[in-house]
Structure 1
Amino acid sequence: MEKEKLNIQRQSYSTFSPMAGNEQKQPLLNGSEENENKRSEKPYNNNEQTEVDIMTQVPENPHATSDAATMMHLLKGNIGTGLLSLPLAIQHAGIIFGPVLLLLMAIICVHCMRLLVKCSKHFCRQEGVPFMDYSTVMKMAARHSPIVKLQQHENAAGTLVNIFLMITQLGFCCVYFVFMAQNIRQVVIQYFPNSTPGDRIFMAMLFVPIALLSFIRHLKILAWFSFLANIATLVSLAIILRYVVEDLPAFNTRPYIANASTIPMFFGTAIYAFEGIGVILPIENEMRNPSHFPGILYSGMSVVSFLYISLGIIGYLKYGDTICGSITLNLPGADPLAQSAKILYSFVIFVGWLIQFYVPMQLAGPWLKKFRFPVAADAAMRISLAALTCLLAIAIPNLGDYIALIGAFSSSFLALIFPPIIHILTFYSPASNEIGEPLIYDENNKRSKKMSKLTMIKDLVIMIIGLVGFLAGTIVAIQNIIKDLGTDDDSDKCSGGAGGITTTAPYYNVTTPAWHGNQTTSFSTPGFV
């Protein structure tokens, strides 16, 4: 039985021949292309070493990244504004309960990243191609799923992933505009207190360099910038820690477990911090040695998770209910050392903007090639998307609520819901389909097997956690944003509306119960109205 061949474009590669004498295949990248040609008659065979080692036969890529550069991109893709917002996330859950939930979420998110890469490798071996992107993996999972209706809508499944990828990555870019504008303004206003424009003006001013940055098309060009950004991250984090570790109050001065009504905001803010799910496959696809990626993933994400939990605990312990959407906004505005941390981290976010922007432009690439003047269409798309992220940031310049909304609405699907769905669709089917093609590949025993019930239950539990967080977090974040839009006074916001001179954030004059171990007390809930 003939298999339909996927014919999808990949920048920097034209053809790929996994075995001598076989028909050449184009590598898979974007699932939005139509399946116009028929796939090769060669069935997938686990016993053939050439099929098993297909990932080692990737043609020479002049833009391929080394292991060190891949680690830099992985760290840069995960250490962004989300890291600095984690003290706010801990405030929404409690000084004890928050870190426990954050550790659990880190384990789940990294596991889902691994599931996504595992399924991608499985279908790459099956199709005889060196790489696939997120949407193509979903498309292949739908095609080979045991659900007939889903098989008939494989293109829609891939498009759904692309939609959430676009929303998430562009949402990150919006948050980055807000972050840079607020932190830079807090520095500038110390020297020009009477003539410094508002946050929105700074966002508009940042559009020019950001628009120019958007024309960089290859991650390899950014390798040295990512390296410098990682150094800047370490320096700025050291400065931040220098402030937050001074005169720390006792643990019992903060609620151990926050009120249940604030947990949805914790979920949105925390899941936003694990913002690297959208760039995992693009980074892995650009590697010179893709087989090294699992080790890089686990080691890199271990470092990231340690930073997340440590800064989240110490930051909330230091500032309590006055914590801002980014802990840099709590640093003393007039202190030159604190100012340097804000400027350094703004540079980090500036570089991170392009890494996040790389994904939506990669998704739009095949579609743009259909235009009569593809180069002009590509330029117009880059300028338009950059302008869109700037305008959305200007419309809702509230860092904390923006982070929670993007995290709950779109990151939950990409990080927690889609990966287990793909894993189930890929590996739940019987050992072989109608053409005798194994759907489960055991790398150690080189044989097929069926998914265990325990694995199925684990995937379903992760999906349920993601769905509950999506619903609750999105509703609460939207409610807060509506409150933001209902006020015209920006002067008292954490964003630097007060000039960054104060280190406290406004909060509602409302109290909610929180548990401090052996007693129940009250604490103020931060807000921006």
Structure 2
Amino acid sequence: MRDTHGSTSANLCNTFGPFRRAALIESGFHSELESKKTSSDYDPHEHRNASHPTTNAETLIHMLKCSLGTGIFAMPQAFKAAGLVNGFIFTILISVLCTYGIHIMVQAQYVLCKKLRVPLLTYPESMKAALLTGPKAFHKYANFLSYVVNVFLIFYQLGFCCVYIIFVAVNVKELVDEYLSKPMALELYTTTLLPFFTLILLVPNLKWLAPFSLISNLLTFGSLGIIFYYLLSDLPSIEDRNLVGTLYNFPLFFGTVWFSFKTVGVVIALENNMKTPKSFGGCFGVFNIAVFLIVLLYVAIGFFGYWRYGEETRSSITLNLGNKDLLAKLVQALNSIAIFISYGLQGFVPVDIIWNTYLLKRLSNVKHPWMYEYILRIMLVIVTVLVAVFIPLLELFISFFGSFCLSALGIVFPAIMDICIKWPNELGFQNWILIKDIFLIGFGMLGLMSGSYSALAEIIRKLSIGDYS
């Protein structure tokens, strides 16, 4: 009976996608979870059937690409807010927290897939399943929190898309204005980019995006090499730089660093689409290798960027290089192309959520449903471009979306899931796992509220006086 049930679940999941998984979650808990039966004979990884599976190398490329974006170029601005010492220490601590949160989220998803005997669950489905297997007081919030996770995922991925558009527009403006008799408004550059961002978001799946991500990574690493050349040339005395920033600016630092570690939105999608998902976790798995390389680059760019430019550090380090030297122009051009390509990867997540979770089931009887998917993709590009036109505040956008969304998705929600799947008998000695997760929830909520408030207050202040610098 167990084998039959597992095989059926896998087939239904692969055939009907999120609609049948939702039904399995609702119906499966009474038979699988509440009865406390084990599923040691079922391995979700062996029952996955991704239509376009990615290799370990392709997954690593995607991981690097979705992290080496606008966030890394904002790290000197983050170190400016925190100071050199605080920036160095807390960037590493935040990266450890982010990595740990993602690990417990992926592990929770795996445990829940085993219990439900399904090949995969999305992040919102995992949250719902976790709450239904946790304390009874949590059960009534299962549906609500699954929607909340979806909202956060959509909101923060679209926020990243807005940031990417602003980044490309600002850098293109720096490049092109020099050759114009009269500089063009940033809004005009932004709207001109609309058809190009539309084209990249029309690429339909992660497999087809992998070559673009590889090109983007090569461009990014090439530009980083040039940036380090500028940063390490003519370094001033380090005594002229703040070692510890002010408490007022620390929430902005927190949000910027969280934004930089933005893999949480795509990590489950990447792991679910792997040809060998067992290679994702582990000490030397794809995820940890990617994080090690990412943190090394973040700390180096942030530390030396602020050391080199001090109080003149701008929202993106590419803007500090100027637009006179050929190498500086090359950096701005390479990064504009790289971030433009990354828009396709970041936009994949909200499209996938909105289409597969909310729209596809309503259009199942339509003759050509794929046409509506492409209409959705075009509409999302238009929305993100309009937001970028009206609120072109790059560094504050970065801090706001990092604080508001990543604190919840990267710390709070994984900690809640961890409590639920280990309730009540696997919470460790003296319930230390429960205490640890409650601490993580509190820390995440503090970062969410303080960072979001600081960034939003500064956005409102700048908009009120018309300061878009």
TM-score normalised to structure 1 length: 0.81
Give the deviation of 1:409 after TM superposition.
1.4
Match of 2:232 in 1: 245
8 A contact 2:396–2:458 mirrored in 1: yes
Q: Distance in 1 between matches of 2:328 and 2:37?
A: 59
Q: Distance in 1 between matches of 2:51 and 2:12?
A: 20
Q: Distance in 2 between matches of 1:217 and 1:23?
A: 24
Which of 348, 366, 380 matches 1:358? 348
Q: Secondary structure at the match of 2:135?
A: coil
Which of 290, 298, 316 matches 1:300? 290
Q: 1:35 to 1:225 in 2, by over 3 A?
A: same
The one-letter code matched in structure 2 to 1:417 is: V
The one-letter code matched in structure 2 to 1:122 is: V
Q: Distance in 2 between matches of 1:158 and 1:342?
A: 40
8 A contact 1:29–1:131 mirrored in 2: no
8 A contact 2:412–2:445 mirrored in 1: yes
Give the deviation of 1:32 after TM superposition.
11
The one-letter code matched in structure 2 to 1:407 is: G
Match of 2:55 in 1: 66
Q: 1:65 to 1:418 in 2, by over 3 A?
A: same
Q: Distance in 1 between matches of 2:317 and 2:64?
A: 19
Q: 1:31 to 1:346 in 2, by over 3 A?
A: farther
* Deviation readout 1:264-322 (Å, 9 max, x if unpaired): 11111111111111000000011000000011111110000111111100000011111
The one-letter code matched in structure 1 to 2:187 is: R
Q: 1:450 to 1:227 in 2, by over 3 A?
A: same
Match of 1:487 in 2: 465
Which of 258, 264, 286 matches 2:273? 286
The one-letter code matched in structure 1 to 2:56 is: D
Q: Distance in 2 between matches of 1:23 and 1:209?
A: 39
Q: 1:240 to 1:128 in 2, by over 3 A?
A: same
Match of 1:391 in 2: 386
The one-letter code matched in structure 2 to 1:393 is: A
Give the deviation of 1:239 after TM superposition.
0.7
* Deviation readout 1:351-378 (Å, 9 max, x if unpaired): 1111111111111123221135333332
The one-letter code matched in structure 1 to 2:96 is: I
- Pairing 1:94–2:83 present: yes
The one-letter code matched in structure 2 to 1:399 is: L
Aligned residue-pair number? 455
* Deviation readout 1:148-192 (Å, 9 max, x if unpaired): 3x2123111110100000110000000000000000111111222
Q: 1:47 to 1:143 in 2, by over 3 A?
A: closer
Give the deviation of 1:112 after TM superposition.
0.5
Matches within 5 A, 1:252-401: 252-294=239-281, 295-366=285-356, 367-369=358-360, 370-371=362-363, 373=366, 374-401=369-396
Match of 1:144 in 2: 133
Give the deviation of 1:389 after TM superposition.
0.6
Give the deviation of 1:209 after TM superposition.
1.1
Q: Distance in 2 between matches of 1:191 and 1:255?
A: 37
Match of 2:417 in 1: 422
The one-letter code matched in structure 2 to 1:387 is: I
Give the deviation of 1:24 after TM superposition.
4.5
8 A contact 1:44–1:127 mirrored in 2: no
Give the deviation of 1:46 after TM superposition.
4.4
* Deviation readout 1:439-496 (Å, 9 max, x if unpaired): xxxxxxxxxx444422222222222221111111111111211122123465xx3xxx
Q: 1:96 to 1:30 in 2, by over 3 A?
A: farther
Which of 448, 455, 459 matches 1:470? 448
Q: Distance in 2 between matches of 1:58 and 1:135?
A: 18
RMSD: 2.4
Which of 176, 189, 194 matches 1:207? 194
TM-score normalised to structure 2 length: 0.91
Q: Secondary structure at the match of 2:245?
A: coil
Q: 1:18 to 1:196 in 2, by over 3 A?
A: farther
Q: 1:20 to 1:114 in 2, by over 3 A?
A: closer
Q: 1:77 to 1:143 in 2, by over 3 A?
A: same
Q: Distance in 2 between matches of 1:258 and 1:75?
A: 29
Q: Secondary structure at the match of 1:39?
A: helix
- Pairing 1:165–2:153 present: yes
Q: Distance in 2 between matches of 1:38 and 1:455?
A: 29
Q: Distance in 2 between matches of 1:353 and 1:69?
A: 17
Q: Distance in 1 between matches of 2:98 and 2:9?
A: 38
Q: 1:319 to 1:456 in 2, by over 3 A?
A: same
Q: Distance in 2 between matches of 1:349 and 1:170?
A: 14
Q: 1:18 to 1:484 in 2, by over 3 A?
A: same
8 A contact 1:225–1:351 mirrored in 2: yes
The one-letter code matched in structure 1 to 2:294 is: V
8 A contact 2:10–2:119 mirrored in 1: no
Match of 1:408 in 2: 403
Q: Secondary structure at the match of 1:429?
A: coil
Percentage of matched positions with identical amino acids: 29
**Structure of higher CA gyration radius:** 1
8 A contact 1:83–1:308 mirrored in 2: yes
Q: Distance in 1 between matches of 2:21 and 2:143?
A: 9
8 A contact 1:29–1:132 mirrored in 2: no
8 A contact 2:400–2:452 mirrored in 1: yes
Q: Secondary structure at the match of 1:455?
A: helix
Higher strand share goes to which structure? 1
Give the deviation of 1:58 after TM superposition.
2.5
Q: Secondary structure at the match of 1:255?
A: coil
The one-letter code matched in structure 1 to 2:87 is: G
Q: Distance in 1 between matches of 2:20 and 2:316?
A: 37
The one-letter code matched in structure 2 to 1:209 is: F
Match of 2:439 in 1: 461
Q: Distance in 2 between matches of 1:30 and 1:86?
A: 38
8 A contact 2:101–2:414 mirrored in 1: yes
Q: Distance in 2 between matches of 1:112 and 1:212?
A: 34
Task: Name structure 1 gaps, 5 residues minimum.
Answer: 4-15, 431-448, 494-529
8 A contact 1:17–1:23 mirrored in 2: no
Q: Distance in 2 between matches of 1:340 and 1:25?
A: 51
Give the deviation of 1:44 after TM superposition.
7.2
Give the deviation of 1:38 after TM superposition.
3.6
The one-letter code matched in structure 2 to 1:287 is: M
